[in-house]
Amino acid sequence: MRRDVFQAIADPTRREIISLLARNPLNINTVADRFPTSRVAISKHLKILTECGLIIVQQQGRERICEAQPEKLREVSDWVEQYRQFWNENLDSLERYLNEIQAK
């Protein structure tokens, strides 16, 4: 099953993992140690994030290092932006209308 970015960010743990890795790359054990859930659960979250392209995991010696790929969040940003523009235009229109009513 091909996952998309929206599925990945739907889960709060995955969002927290992205935030954590956006600061600096970490090995899998360090990521897992930051959460109260099992390593298996964190491993599943990392797999989903990898499938969506939001992180990459690279072997460095004996460690597997996770690194965020935040540019993949552009898809989410673009989608949200269309709604931001919609609401800004509507709220601006409402403001103009209210100003007209007050001026009368």
Q: What is the CATH number of the domain that holds 67?
A: 1.10.10.10
CB count within 10 Å of CB 78 equals 9
70 phi and psi, to 5 degrees? Answer: -65, -20
Q: Which domain holds residue 35?
A: 5-103
Q: What is the pLDDT of residues 2-35, one digit of tens each?
A: 678 998 999 999 999 999 999 999 999 999 999 9
Q: How many domains does the chain have?
A: 1
pLDDT confidence of residue 26: 98
Q: Which residues of 42-72 are buried (b: 16+ CB within 10 A; e: fewer)?
A: beebbebbbebebbeeeeeeeeebbebbeeb
Output the pTM of the full model: 0.77
> Is the model's pLDDT at 38 over the cut of 90?
yes
Q: Which pLDDT does position 2 carry in this prediction?
A: 65
Q: What own/partner pairs with CB < 8 Å and gap ≥ 24 does 76-80 have? A: 76/5, 76/6, 76/9, 79/6
